[in-house]
Structure 1
Amino acid sequence: MSPREIFALRNYLGAELKGRTLSDAHHSVSLTDVLSQTVRGGRLGELSGRSVLLKLSDQLKSGLAMIELDGIARRMLLCPPDLNPAHLDALIADAEIDAVVTDEPEFWKDSAIPFVVIAQLPLTPAAPAETERATEWLMLTSGTSGVPKIAAHTLEALTGAIRAEAPARGPAPVWATFYDIRRYGGLQIFLRGVLSGGSMVLSDPHEVLADHIARLNARGVSHISGTPSHWRKLLMSGSAAQFAPRYVRLSGEIADQAVLDGLKAAFPDSSIGHAYASTEAGVGFAVNDGLEGFPADYIGVNASGVEMKIVDGSLRIRSERIAHAYIGRDVTKLADDDGFVDTGDMIELRGDRYHFVGRRGGIINIGGLKVHPEEIEAVINRHPDVRMSRAKSRKSPITGGIVVTDVILADGTDPARANEIREQILDQCRAQLASHKVPAVIRFVETLDVTPAGKLARTDA
């Protein structure tokens, strides 16, 4: 399909593709029938040309609403479930919202928004809609305690990496993701499910992990994505033995060698890859060779037209997949004058491969020296008895700051070996890290906090 042609998600839902479903823990909806049914009670036409906030309690209704609205609404703002309600008014103003699609109408009864549409299941019959315009997709950035920024995409940009890939061989994939589809990483998998001619199984934040995996198996999931933290939780749970996807994908955090090796051991017959993407920069690249980092020759322009360069240690990306602007009052420029997005992800060259070392804004201060906690964690995670770790700083009256690490041991590790393992970890760190990066304290813990976006929580003590 020509990039200049206006297209919408409904263009990928034809009656000739049978057996396609979008499902969660409670419902399954036929994607084949969505064109002639609605989640909005027949009020789609009234949303034509409007700027719509999708504020729904679950992913299934959200996904169905996206399909219906794309090509109809002027723009739609995807609202993730963890959004601070105190930020809603500012976001509504910035996005010029004049309609809301919700399944919680009581919340909006005193709102100044002129048009509120209730979404509900089961679907009801509706006349097929015609694509009217290229809808602007608005997504919220993560990683800030203040009002999140709004990044604006076109469907063309959002699906650029998907459409650039060769069609998958064999049966149509059944996709799943640990992400919420109202975040960029999850939305990418939702769009893959729609464009691939296959199906998708949605996650549920309240579902026990073992039950989730059982549901993925029952639905025949073949392709699945998540952050490294998601995957470490799965490996720790013991549920991986009951699961055998064909393709495993990591994104959203640094994929270190320990988690890649752990997944290969758990899923020896699976293809395992990690991708680089962000809400602003779009999908940059994928790595499928089983190694952390990425080959040095990725820098420059790749075959898909994505151009990458490094400035002051930070990865910068320019392509037709990036968001085209931040939306709202007093916003900064999303890209520089040459069209590059500064990702803020710091990388360094080791031999013929670049490695991610951490976020520019996530540096901790140790005695006046700057340290990326991810670099320390990558070394600790290589220990065979470690499943997951978290490095942070703690104030010290002598040095000003020390490294403190919390470590989750791998399943089956004898607790009596804790002191032995602690010394081995310290020896490993001393051999591979500068002295100021070596942990002063190592604590063994049962769990580590993960954000709603599936990333290791990084609020220092």
Structure 2
Amino acid sequence: MPTRFLQDRFRDVPQCDAIIWQARTFSYRWLLDAIQQWDARLDEHEIHAGTVTTLLADLSPQSVAALLALTQRGAIIVPMTGSMRKHQPAYEAIAQCEVAIEISSDQTISINPIQSDASAKHELHAKLRAAAHPGLVLFSSGSTGTPKAAVHDFTRLLDKFHPPRRAMRTLAFLLFDHIGGLNTILHTLATGGCIVVPSDRSPESVLTAIQDFGVQLLPTSPTFLKLLLISDAWEDYDLQSLQMITYGTEPMSANILAALNEKLPHVTFKQTYGLSEVGILRSKSKDSSSLWMQLGGDGVQTRVVDNVLQIKSHSTMLGYLNAASPFSEDGWFITGDVVQVDGDYFKVLGRGGEMINVGGEKVYPAEVEAVIETMPQVHTAAVYGEANAIMGMIVCARVKLIPGVELSARELTQAVRQHCRNHLSPKQVPIRVTIDPQLSHDERFKKQRTPRA
């Protein structure tokens, strides 16, 4: 049973806090009992090893118990959050789901078979069933088209949590259907720590949870940390319990990282690296203010081909349900992330697919955004490329202004272009700049760089 080691650890700390949700505390004893109740419920609905099962829920004690119960019996789990409801039928068709479990916000549970002509006969599902291993299907964010469905052997993902590590009270910021969110859940529970679920993911709610429940570790994204800086909300909260902030999912700006270290000198900042296809790798930042990191750990190999990071890992997915193989001929996963290398350290510049080729010069959006966002008038910037008959592509930017700042589009364009000329090469300077008061992030707190229609 792949989760036996987890339940053994739960039994070692039955009275300890496992999850804090809606300001209520749930112990490891409660979690063990809830897993047993889910086990009986799954038997009643004939959900067995190999059954492809939707788990539509936001993070809660019941959804965690359901996830663990499904894993221990070897089901193939397709986690979704409430925000994915409008895409649920399409995602279930791609994943060939057979049963849907839904846990509503008030913890009402429904379990229903999915009426579909397509049975779960994909070769990757068959491979999991033949091995008698639980599976996990994770969807990409889908920002550039149909989301890709990555299939994992869940047993391999769980292997890295076997060694005992330090228990911490950890805020659950990343989503339940995201590899980073699942990593937070599994790592925290495997150490006997406590998952703290904020009421929502606004800066005020996150800071309230840190203060009220003694959170020690905050895993989040650079976009959220930028919002935190702009809000200055932390001036009103006691954050002395906070020991570490980990950040990933997108490149971090050196300016933002420097400001964070200045604002929170008692906190260690650590960059993480992971993808839906490879899991979350072990990483080590050069120091708290550095964007350079080491990657690896047991069972992980890295190499760089044409400036693109490639990974061979025990936790790498089996493949996609609905897309071509992203593996090289010799079995390396091609991440698509462009990196610089300095000895044993990597620095992620951005996704190769987001790179803007301006007359043969490669421009990475994150580098231009970092410069624009140092302007006192600018709240957020999103940089992207547009086709151009002469240069191939040109650099464009959407900019959200700080509340209270009033600039015309022409004034903003002139200011941005002049500022960028002082800090960037000529081909990195945006040609077109537009004001976008709606500029924000997706539900995973990643910046959206596509042009607005």
TM range (shorter): 0.7 to 0.9
> How has the CA–CA distance of structure 1 residues 35 and 5 changed in structure 2, closer, same or farther, with 3 Å as cutoff?
closer
For 1:25 and 1:240, locate their aligned partners in 2 and report how far apart those are by CA, in whole Å: 21
> Could you tell me how far 1:158 is from its partner in structure 2?
2.4
For 1:253 and 1:216, locate their aligned partners in 2 and report how far apart those are by CA, in whole Å: 23
For 2:337 and 2:17, locate their aligned partners in 1 and report how far apart those are by CA, in whole Å: 37
Query: After the TM superposition, which residues 409-448 of structure 1 pair with which residues of structure 2 at under 5 Å, given as runs?
Result: 426=417, 429-441=420-432, 448=439
Q: Give 1:290's aligned amino acid.
A: S
Equivalent of 2:27 in 30, 40, 58: 30
Look up the match of 2:54. Answer: 54
For 1:256 and 1:137, locate their aligned partners in 2 and report how far apart those are by CA, in whole Å: 32
> Could you tell me how far 1:256 is from its partner in structure 2?
2.3
Q: Deviations over 1:225-251 (max 9, x none)?
A: 111001111222222232341110001
> Could you tell me how far 1:367 is from its partner in structure 2?
6.3
> How has the CA–CA distance of structure 1 residues 398 and 204 changed in structure 2, closer, same or farther, with 3 Å as cutoff?
farther
Look up the match of 1:177. Answer: 172
CA contact 1:392–1:404 (8 Å) conserved in 2: yes
For 2:110 and 2:227, locate their aligned partners in 1 and report how far apart those are by CA, in whole Å: 34
Q: Does 1:188 pair with 2:188?
A: no
Look up the match of 1:322. Answer: 316
RMSD value, Cα: 3.8
Look up the match of 1:450. Answer: 441
Look up the match of 2:233. Answer: 239
- Which sections of structure 2, spanning at least 5 residues, go unmatched? 118-130
> Could you tell me how far 1:215 is from its partner in structure 2?
2.6
For 1:439 and 1:395, locate their aligned partners in 2 and report how far apart those are by CA, in whole Å: 13
CA contact 1:380–1:386 (8 Å) conserved in 2: yes
Query: After the TM superposition, which residues 382-393 of structure 1 pair with which residues of structure 2 at under 5 Å, given as runs?
Result: 388-393=380-385
Q: Give 1:456's aligned amino acid.
A: K
CA contact 1:25–1:215 (8 Å) conserved in 2: no
Query: After the TM superposition, which residues 306-317 of structure 1 pair with which residues of structure 2 at under 5 Å, given as runs?
Result: 306-317=300-311
CA contact 2:338–2:351 (8 Å) conserved in 1: yes
For 2:69 and 2:112, locate their aligned partners in 1 and report how far apart those are by CA, in whole Å: 24
Look up the match of 1:140. Answer: 139
Look up the match of 1:219. Answer: 213
For 1:195 and 1:48, locate their aligned partners in 2 and report how far apart those are by CA, in whole Å: 24
> Could you tell me how far 1:133 is from its partner in structure 2?
5.8
Query: After the TM superposition, which residues 187-206 of structure 1 pair with which residues of structure 2 at under 5 Å, given as runs?
Result: 187-205=182-200
> Could you tell me how far 1:191 is from its partner in structure 2?
1.0
Q: Give 1:332's aligned amino acid.
A: A
CA contact 1:71–1:134 (8 Å) conserved in 2: no
Look up the match of 2:450. Answer: 459
309-318 vs 94-103, greater mean Cα deviation = 94-103
For 2:307 and 2:210, locate their aligned partners in 1 and report how far apart those are by CA, in whole Å: 40
CA contact 1:6–1:134 (8 Å) conserved in 2: no
Q: Does 1:112 pair with 2:76?
A: no
Aligned length: 427
> Could you tell me how far 1:161 is from its partner in structure 2?
4.9
For 2:346 and 2:402, locate their aligned partners in 1 and report how far apart those are by CA, in whole Å: 28
CA contact 2:18–2:189 (8 Å) conserved in 1: no
Q: Does 1:150 pair with 2:149?
A: yes
Look up the match of 1:118. Answer: none
Q: Give 2:21's aligned amino acid.
A: D
Q: Percent identity?
A: 22
CA contact 1:151–1:280 (8 Å) conserved in 2: yes
Partner SS for 2:82: coil
CA contact 1:178–1:203 (8 Å) conserved in 2: yes
Q: Deviations over 1:263-283 (max 9, x none)?
A: 212211011101111111222
Equivalent of 1:341 in 321, 333, 342: 333
For 2:70 and 2:344, locate their aligned partners in 1 and report how far apart those are by CA, in whole Å: 46
180-189 vs 5-14, greater mean Cα deviation = 5-14
CA contact 1:87–1:147 (8 Å) conserved in 2: no
Partner SS for 2:11: coil
Partner SS for 1:451: coil
Q: Give 1:390's aligned amino acid.
A: A
Equivalent of 2:355 in 345, 348, 363: 363
Q: Does 1:98 pair with 2:98?
A: yes
Look up the match of 2:288. Answer: 290
> Could you tell me how far 1:78 is from its partner in structure 2?
1.0
> How has the CA–CA distance of structure 1 residues 48 and 275 changed in structure 2, closer, same or farther, with 3 Å as cutoff?
same
Q: Deviations over 1:71-90 (max 9, x none)?
A: 1143111123333634624x
Q: Give 1:312's aligned amino acid.
A: D
CA contact 1:178–1:230 (8 Å) conserved in 2: no
> How has the CA–CA distance of structure 1 residues 192 and 255 changed in structure 2, closer, same or farther, with 3 Å as cutoff?
same
Equivalent of 1:12 in 9, 13, 27: 9
CA contact 2:39–2:69 (8 Å) conserved in 1: no
Look up the match of 2:120. Answer: none
For 2:391 and 2:327, locate their aligned partners in 1 and report how far apart those are by CA, in whole Å: 39
Q: Deviations over 1:109-166 (max 9, x none)?
A: 794179xxxxxxxxxxxxxxxxx964212222224454422222234432455556x7
For 1:178 and 1:233, locate their aligned partners in 2 and report how far apart those are by CA, in whole Å: 14
For 1:267 and 1:345, locate their aligned partners in 2 and report how far apart those are by CA, in whole Å: 29
Partner SS for 1:32: helix
CA contact 1:140–1:150 (8 Å) conserved in 2: yes
Look up the match of 1:75. Answer: 76
Partner SS for 2:29: coil
> Could you tell me how far 1:410 is from its partner in structure 2?
7.4
258-267 vs 246-255, greater mean Cα deviation = 258-267
Partner SS for 1:265: helix
CA contact 1:56–1:101 (8 Å) conserved in 2: yes
> How has the CA–CA distance of structure 1 residues 311 and 432 changed in structure 2, closer, same or farther, with 3 Å as cutoff?
farther
For 1:106 and 1:29, locate their aligned partners in 2 and report how far apart those are by CA, in whole Å: 18
Q: Deviations over 1:30-72 (max 9, x none)?
A: 2332212356494133323252433434211322211222211
Q: Deviations over 1:177-224 (max 9, x none)?
A: 32112211111111111111111012444x653133213321211111
